[in-house]
Amino acid sequence: MLKKVLSVALVLTLVITTFAGCGSKAPAGETGPIKIGSIMPISGPVSAYGTQSRDAIIMAVDEINAAGGILGRQVEAIVEDDEANPEKTKSAFTKLVTDDGVIGIVGALTSKCSLAITADAQARKIIMISPSSTNDTVTDAGDYIFRSCYNDSFQGQVVASFAYKDLKAIKAAILFDNTNDYSKGLTQTFKAKFEELGGTVVSEESYATGDMDFNAQLTKIKGTAPDVLFIPDYYNTVSLIAKQVKSQGLTSTMLGADGWDEIANNAGDEVVGSYYSNHYSPDANDPEVKAFVAKYTELFGVAPNALAALAYDATYILTDAIAKAGSTDPEAIKTAMMETNKKFVTGQISFDAKRNPIKSAVMVELVKGTEPNKPAVKYAATVNP
């Protein structure tokens, strides 16, 4: 099948239904489409995440549509591009709520963008489920804010435990973006857990978003001879850092978090032997994962990254809740979402009191691929909460 190509400025309107609501009737007085918004970075520095997440929503929508309807009504999904820019996220949110009249939002994608709208979503009683904003504070705004990903406290602990217990690391260094909430949050939780286990953080260096030269920081880190180097940032920045790590002759095992997803498509063999935490592994021996990966790859020509899987799950979580609520009333939908307890692509998901999912994480390893200087990912371990 041909890959679906969408313009950056295109507003995507789709008809979706849900298996749980197939054949159900609309409550009296409620007619017309149920409008759901989505805010994704279709363009900008992390567009690989935004486009795959958008495509996964499309795939879920097509599947759900075949099942026959939510409450006897169509659902109109309106997708806006925020370019991973918080100010544009705010503008997209205002449009979706004020102009389009959405009752829920799948998004935003990055933590900084979600944090720009959570207070507004709570105040307006708009159900918001972020597929991939892992910063601990994202759900603090209130009980209308959910996510389908685990948070940084869990993720940072997973990486620290893997470093200390599986890699037998005693000394760790950290290189992080001190202007990015995602990177700072992971730094704090990794450091706390690694030191709690008995390890020592021998160097902690920082940079700012947009920096391209990390040699000064890496020279200081090299002098401390760490066993592992934790780099909690997104794949585009990590690919630059990894090249400079190699040129410096720094042999510490590099570690990362879910922001590394797509690093295999953006870096070379300099990242081979590194590990990062993720929300799922496309080569996991799991029926739901296998079916999702096969269908997505057939539709879009590439294997789905973890953020695509999270967006796919978030779409089902929200639409399932609308069907279960039997209403578009936000209070009823919120209550139904809290009752979620189901196996999805990224694992068995239920929610804790702060609307964070209770689920497992995986560690993946970057290994040599079949093509020269093009690494591949390999499942390494599953870590349960």
Is residue 293 domain-shared with residue 247, that is, in the same domain? no
Is residue 205 domain-shared with residue 253, that is, in the same domain? yes
Is residue 336 domain-shared with residue 376, that is, in the same domain? no
Name the 3-class secondary structure at 382: strand
Does 212 map to a domain? yes
**pLDDT given at position 217:** 98
Is residue 289 domain-shared with residue 269, that is, in the same domain? no
Does 38 map to a domain? yes
**pLDDT given at position 381:** 87
Does 251 map to a domain? yes
Is residue 131 domain-shared with residue 233, that is, in the same domain? no
Which CATH number do you get for residue 79? 3.40.50.2300
Is residue 107 domain-shared with residue 171, that is, in the same domain? no
**pLDDT given at position 268:** 96
Kindly report whether the global pTM for this prediction surpasses the value 0.85. Answer: no
For 241, 251, 254, the CA distances from 226, given in Å and listed in that order, are 16, 9, 10
**pLDDT given at position 77:** 85
Cα gap 203→217, rounded to integer Å: 9
Is residue 194 domain-shared with residue 250, that is, in the same domain? yes
SS3 content of the chain, % helix, strand, coil (to 5): 40, 20, 35
Domain of residue 304 covers 19-149+285-354
Does 14 map to a domain? no
Does 349 map to a domain? yes
Question: How many structural domains does the chain have?
Answer: 2
CB-neighbour burial class of residue 179 (10 A; exposed 0-12, middle 13-18, buried 19+): middle
* Sheet arrangement for strand 75-81: 75-81, 34-40, 104-106, 127-130, 145-147
Cα gap 133→2, rounded to integer Å: 30
Does 11 map to a domain? no
Is residue 75 domain-shared with residue 44, that is, in the same domain? yes
How high is the mean pLDDT in each 10-residue block of the chain (385 residues)?
A: 35 36 44 89 95 93 80 86 98 97 95 97 98 94 97 93 96 97 93 98 97 98 98 96 97 96 94 96 90 97 95 96 94 98 95 96 95 93 82
**pLDDT given at position 70:** 87
**pLDDT given at position 73:** 85
Is residue 375 domain-shared with residue 234, that is, in the same domain? yes
Cα gap 250→242, rounded to integer Å: 10
Is residue 188 domain-shared with residue 257, that is, in the same domain? yes
Q: Do the Cβ atoms of 375 and 239 come closer than 8 Å?
A: no
Q: Do the Cβ atoms of 153 and 161 come closer than 8 Å?
A: no
Does 252 map to a domain? yes
Q: Tell how far CA 80 is from the center of its chain.
A: 17
**pLDDT given at position 22:** 37
Does 64 map to a domain? yes
Is residue 371 domain-shared with residue 235, that is, in the same domain? yes
For strand 347-351 and strand 341-344, is the pairing parallel, antiparallel, or unpaired?
antiparallel
Is residue 129 domain-shared with residue 211, that is, in the same domain? no
